[in-house]
């Protein structure tokens, strides 16, 4: 793996050694003042605040180090192309402002979200959750974003609170970002790659080798985001990765503890149930937009929704009710500390202490570190190591 190889790649044009290309700009870095401290860190990139010297406008600058992106070039090409195509298409989507490269790095300059992300908005709130009115405002905008993306055959694949930003402080106007895992697909195409953040993954992604998955995975993630906003914890977030996967595949989540959910009526719970519909053909944005929870909130829609009857939609099953009773009858075990696991088989936790979790969420009774996996970088399968000489 020689140093010359990675320099021949550029995400926005031909090879960097091809003199005929006109898209490679190595001098634009002088047009921006980039902060020394990152404001965000991803799996393969860091985000910095930057300022255009001419206009004095502030932006976000996503920096990919060439040595670290080696072997992941297609991911960066994909993100660049989607951002470029989406720019100025919807005010709720992050815009690509500029792009350039230096000898060592690639840069994507985008809108700056001065209001932080949704994870911060939730966890930094005094109650560690959001009120139903604010949550509804945010979820309406998120649905509208996905409606636009899906109409244009784009699957986001990484909808989570950390990728939903706010334009200004104390504002509920969102900017959906981070399209590094997004895909443009044909309407009948199925994907099989497992990627994203596990607590927001849909069951069909985890079993994708069977039949594959499509845009419905984003709708499942909407349910996880909404559940988190109004309760303060994720519906599928267990002590181990395997337990979390089992909870997702078998839809093992609860509206518990009771005191967390007593204020919410059936419209709210039914909306969540629609997001977590296991039958992907029944899990649609149309049904969300026509739900009783959102039925009178349609001025935002650019999509005609047909009236539909959903009189037989199930609520919590009798099995799930029994699971709740089993948990509550064994509540003493809910204070048991998580068992020690091998680091190679467990999730790396980051800022889970920001989230206050209830004593019980699933019958697995393990989310004492609930929300921790939400802070993981967005990957599922990544190289286990990078050559030491490429880490400098």
Note the pLDDT of residue 28. 61
What digits encode the pLDDT tens for the residues 188-230? 889 999 989 999 999 999 997 778 999 999 999 999 999 999 9
The C-alpha atoms of residue 95 and residue 111 are separated, in whole angstroms, by 6
Note the pLDDT of residue 142. 96
Residues belonging to the chain: 392
State the DSSP code for 110: E
Note the pLDDT of residue 307. 32
User: Do 360 and 334 contact (CB within 8 A), yes or no?
Assistant: yes
User: Do 138 and 248 contact (CB within 8 A), yes or no?
Assistant: no
The tokens describing 293, both together, are 């929870």
Note the pLDDT of residue 324. 43
Among 144, 158, 178, 372, the active-site one is 158
Name residues whose C-beta falls within 8 Å of residue 34's C-beta, 6 or more positions apart in sequence. 48, 49, 50, 61, 63
Cis peptide before 224 (omega within 30 of 0): no
Q: What is the pTM of this model?
A: 0.74
| Structural domains of the chain, ranges and CATH numbers in brackets | 14-112 (3.30.200.20), 118-316+366-375 (1.10.510.10)
- Integer CA distances (angstroms), 69 to 1, 27, 78, 122, in order: 13, 21, 13, 32
The C-alpha atoms of residue 135 and residue 230 are separated, in whole angstroms, by 7
Q: In the annotation, is 158 catalytic?
A: yes
The tokens describing 370, both together, are 């609930």
User: Do 60 and 48 contact (CB within 8 A), yes or no?
Assistant: yes
Q: How would you write the pLDDT of the chain (392 residues) with one tens digit per residue?
A: 334 444 456 777 644 334 334 444 444 666 888 898 998 887 778 899 999 988 999 999 999 988 888 777 888 888 899 999 898 888 999 999 998 888 888 899 999 998 999 999 999 999 999 999 999 999 999 999 999 999 999 999 999 999 999 988 889 999 999 998 999 988 888 999 998 999 999 999 999 777 899 999 999 999 999 999 999 999 998 889 999 999 999 999 999 888 889 999 999 999 999 999 999 999 999 999 999 999 866 544 444 333 333 333 333 334 444 444 454 444 333 333 333 333 333 322 223 333 333 433 333 333 333 334 444 445 443 333 233 333 43
Secondary structure E strands in the chain: 32-34, 40-41, 45-52, 58-65, 96-101, 105-110, 154-155, 164-166, 174-176, 183-184
Note the pLDDT of residue 2. 38
The tokens describing 218, both together, are 């984003």
Note the pLDDT of residue 4. 41
The C-alpha atoms of residue 40 and residue 49 are separated, in whole angstroms, by 9
The tokens describing 333, both together, are 């075990």
Write down the H helix ranges in 89-169: 118-123, 132-151
Instruction: Give the residue carrying structure tokens 């509208």.
Output: 144
User: Do 80 and 94 contact (CB within 8 A), yes or no?
Assistant: no
Q: What is the CA radius of gyration of the chain?
A: 22
């Amino acid at each position: 793996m020689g140093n010359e190889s990675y320099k021949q790649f550029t995400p926005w044009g031909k090879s960097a050694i091809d003199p005929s290309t006109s898209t490679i700009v190595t001098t634009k870095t002088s047009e921006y003042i980039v902060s020394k401290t990152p404001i965000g860190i991803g799996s393969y990139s860091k985000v910095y605040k930057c300022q255009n010297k001419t206009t004095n406008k502030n932006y976000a600058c996503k920096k990919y180090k060439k040595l670290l992106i080696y072997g992941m070039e297609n991911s960066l090409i994909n993100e660049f192309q989607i951002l470029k195509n989406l720019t100025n298409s919807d005010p709720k989507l992050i815009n690509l402002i500029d792009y350039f490269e230096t000898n060592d790095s690639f840069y994507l300059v985008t809108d700056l979200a001065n209001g932080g992300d949704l994870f911060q908005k939730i966890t930094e709130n005094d109650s560690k959750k959001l009120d139903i009115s604010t949550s509804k405002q945010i979820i309406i905008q998120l649905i509208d974003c996905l409606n636009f993306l899906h109409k244009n055959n784009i699957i986001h694949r990484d909808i989570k609170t950390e990728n939903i930003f706010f334009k200004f402080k104390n504002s509920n106007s969102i900017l959906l970002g981070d399209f590094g895992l997004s895909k443009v697909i044909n309407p009948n195409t199925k994907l099989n790659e497992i990627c994203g953040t596990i607590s927001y993954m849909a069951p069909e992604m985890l079993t994708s080798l069977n039949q594959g998955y499509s845009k419905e995975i984003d709708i499942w993630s909407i349910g996880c985001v909404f559940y988190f906003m109004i309760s303060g914890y994720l519906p599928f977030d267990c002590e181990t990765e395997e337990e979390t996967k089992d909870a997702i595949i078998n839809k093992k989540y609860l509206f518990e503890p009771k005191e967390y959910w007593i204020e919410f009526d059936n419209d709210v719970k039914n909306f969540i149930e629609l997001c977590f519909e296991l039958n992907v053909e029944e899990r649609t944005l149309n049904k969300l937009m026509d739900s009783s929870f959102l039925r009178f909130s349609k001025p935002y829609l650019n999509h005609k929704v047909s009236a539909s009857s959903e009189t037989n939609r199930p609520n919590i099953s009798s099995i799930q009710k029994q699971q709740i009773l089993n948990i509550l009858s064994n509540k003493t075990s809910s204070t048991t500390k998580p068992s020690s696991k091998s680091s190679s088989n467990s999730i790396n936790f980051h800022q889970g202490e920001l989230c206050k979790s209830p004593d019980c969420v699933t019958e697995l009774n393990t989310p004492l570190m609930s929300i921790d996996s939400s802070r993981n970088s967005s990957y599922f399968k990544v190289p286990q190591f990078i050559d030491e000489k490429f880490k400098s």
